Amino acid sequence: MAQTAYEAPLGLMQAALAQAARTTGALELDGYEEALELAPSVLENAARFAGEVLSPLNRVGDRQPARCEAQGVVTSPGFPAAYQRFWRDGWVAMGAPEDRGGQGLPTLLTSVATEMWAGANLAFAMCPELASGAMTALREYGTAELMAHYEQRVTSGEWATTMCLTEPQAGSDLSTIRTRAEPDGAAWRLFGRKIYISWGDHDLTDNIVHFVLARTPDAPPGLKGISLFLVPKLMPQADGTPVRNDVRALSVEHKMGIRGSPTCVMAFGDSSGARGWLIGPLHDGLGCMFTIMNHLRLGVGLHSLGLAERALQLARGHARERLQGRNAAGAQRPIIEHADVRRMLLQMKSLTQAARCLAYTTAATLDVAQLATDPQFSAAAARRADLLTPVVKAWCSEVGVEVASLGVQVHGGMGFIDDAEISQVYRDARIGPIFEGTNYIQAQDLLGRKVLRDRGATLRALLDDMQAAARGLPEQASEPLHRLRAELIRGCDALRTASDHIVAAAGGEPELIGAVAWHFLQWLGVLAGGWQLALAAQALVAKAVGAQAVADSVKHAQADAGTARAIIDCAVFYSAHVLPRIHTHAAIVTRGAAPVSAASVADL
């Protein structure tokens, strides 16, 4: 079966990047435009690395997964060498400040690269993804000694990092963590088991720096008694030579997908205790851990997006080559000529581009929150990024599963055979809705925290912006985009009404959030995807936005005519085939908790 390497869709990525920078106000930040001028060359280099180095290893990781040997975890052939090139070429540190050896590139730009790594090889891409969060945590909470020893190597990616949270009895609920840390002079000794540790052990780097949640002897019970510790695989001795710490991988899980990524059961302190150093305040480990994890939810969205793009590429390539049926002249037709196949490809592409624009917009909003000098502007961006992050994680990951499944369907029987990379994409994509907080946890965060805490104010501001964008589309019924305009405006009104009702009712209905949050998030996700495609189409419809906006769009997006046509097609298709989902989500959310709460649990 002819299969091609991952090819980053640079035109669509640049268009989404330019739109995110422009519409969030990030472009007005000091130095941002200059940073974005590097985008074309940075992204071309990243695209080359993704296509030439990472993509060919994707099937290898699936077929020859990492395995646990006596000396530790041995990764798939080619992974260690690729990783060495990856960090030495500066890809891990691209977002780190220049005074820390990085390139100081904005989150918007590193996000595009993250999409590429995941599209080419998600299992590999998961290894370096903690570096920037770990660096931030070290700078914020690390002692001078820890900084001196770890910061530069963690930032560059020379040493890898892990996040050790989950235990057999403690998954979504971390309050029951049992791993214990006992004081040992200036440091600690840790004892316990952790499960589902991504890249918990491997041979990609000389050392691995674990960030571990544990409970100290005096700690209060529950979430308020958990502390965060840095536990290196190799510790420095007084003379500088490294010595093995008492931490090791006991086994590697056999998983449905992302098989090239070793998911480990980790043992801390099987003999004398794993030496660890406290990070941040005692008993406030969760706060510190969230600093590390903050970007991960955006990362899952970007991963899912990368897989969706990869599924589209594989399906489109297959649909152009595979002959079935005949045209009027009796010649065999490639299946892309069949309307239903084009329907599936358009569904894949419009969902992928909508998710891309939304994820990049969230990245640019994080840049504004971090870099804007006007405190009001910065705070508003922070609130919006807070609101959008769970949507990006949970909506884009559902999109990833859906688009991968459509990719299998376009392949027909071949899609079910392991030889076809699309079957791997389908299996890989299924982790998205599960990890870094299940999609329900995201939905609960969105509705139960982000919406309720300001009684819907941040959401209303977003909906106002979405409706303003819709009003920029043509109103005449003869224009293909007028339905996107009308449906978006109406859809935002309906969501605003539903949200007002939930804000008012949640206090009195204990199961309301639980019963409707998942659909509420997906509803907002579908609308937000439509908003993003409305912005994209708007920028290309000259009459509607005036010459300057078009000039800007062309300048930053460098959208060629084909990219422009593809974006308009996506917007029109999305309004016809995806946006109507809002009616389903709206009907479900509006019904409230009753259909769930009234059902008999015993008879389930």
Residues with a catalytic annotation lie at 436
Tell me the closest approach of the beta carbon of residue 170 to its own copies, in angstroms: 8
Q: Is 115 helix (H, G, I), strand (E, B) or coil?
A: helix
Binding-site member from 6, 211, 395, 518 for its own copies (CB under 8 A) = 518
Which residue lies nearer to its own copies by CB, 90 or 448?
448
Taking residues 339 to 368 in sequence order and writing x for each that binds its own copies by CB under 8 A, - otherwise, the string is xx-xx-xx--x-------------------
Q: Yes or no: say if 204 and 127 are a contact pair by the CB < 8 Å rule.
A: yes
Taking residues 540 to 579 in sequence order and writing x for each that binds its own copies by CB under 8 A, - otherwise, the string is ----------------------xx-xx--x--xx-xxx--
Based on the shown chain and the rule CB under 8 A, indicate whether residue 588 belongs to the binding site for its own copies: yes
Which residue lies nearer to its own copies by CB, 223 or 549?
223
Based on the shown chain and the rule CB under 8 A, indicate whether residue 490 belongs to the binding site for its own copies: no
Based on the shown chain and the rule CB under 8 A, indicate whether residue 48 belongs to the binding site for its own copies: no
Based on the shown chain and the rule CB under 8 A, indicate whether residue 337 belongs to the binding site for its own copies: yes
Site residue total, its own copies (CB under 8 A): 91
In sequence order, what E strands does 38-179 have? 67-69, 72-74, 160-164
Which class for 603: exposed (0-12), middle (13-18), buried (19 or more C-beta within 10 A)?
A: exposed
Which residue lies nearer to its own copies by CB, 273 or 415?
415
Q: Write out the binding residues for its own copies, residues 168-227 only, by CB under 8 A.
A: 169, 171-173, 175-176, 196
Which residue lies nearer to its own copies by CB, 271 or 600?
600
Structure tokens at 75: 């990764």
How far is it, in rounded angstroms, from Cα 491 to Cα 583? 8
Taking residues 396 to 415 in sequence order and writing x for each that binds its own copies by CB under 8 A, - otherwise, the string is -----x---x--xx--xx-x
Which span sits near its own copies by CB under 8 A: 73-81, 100-108, 387-395, 596-604? Answer: 596-604
Q: Write out the binding residues for its own copies, residues 419-478 only, by CB under 8 A.
A: 419, 423, 426-427, 430-431, 433-435, 438-440, 443-444
Structure tokens at 255: 């998983």
Burial 512-549 (b: 16+ CB within 10 A, else e): bbbbbbbbbbbbbbbbbbbbbbbbbbbbbbeebbeeeb
Based on the shown chain and the rule CB under 8 A, indicate whether residue 384 belongs to the binding site for its own copies: no
Based on the shown chain and the rule CB under 8 A, indicate whether residue 486 belongs to the binding site for its own copies: no
The CB-side HSE value for 150 (13 A sphere, CA atoms) comes to 31
CB count in 10 Å sphere of residue 391: 27
Look at the block and give the residue holding tokens 């904005």: 106
Based on the shown chain and the rule CB under 8 A, indicate whether residue 164 belongs to the binding site for its own copies: no
Burial 126-148 (b: 16+ CB within 10 A, else e): bbbbbbbbbbbbbeebbeeebee
Q: Yes or no: say if 488 and 466 are a contact pair by the CB < 8 Å rule.
A: yes
Binding-site member from 238, 254, 477, 546 for its own copies (CB under 8 A) = 254
Q: Yes or no: say if 500 and 456 are a contact pair by the CB < 8 Å rule.
A: yes
Based on the shown chain and the rule CB under 8 A, indicate whether residue 493 belongs to the binding site for its own copies: no
Q: Output the 3-class SS for 26-41.
A: HHHCCCHHHHHHCHHH
Based on the shown chain and the rule CB under 8 A, indicate whether residue 416 belongs to the binding site for its own copies: yes
Q: Write out the binding residues for its own copies, residues 59-118 only, by CB under 8 A.
A: none
Based on the shown chain and the rule CB under 8 A, indicate whether residue 604 belongs to the binding site for its own copies: yes
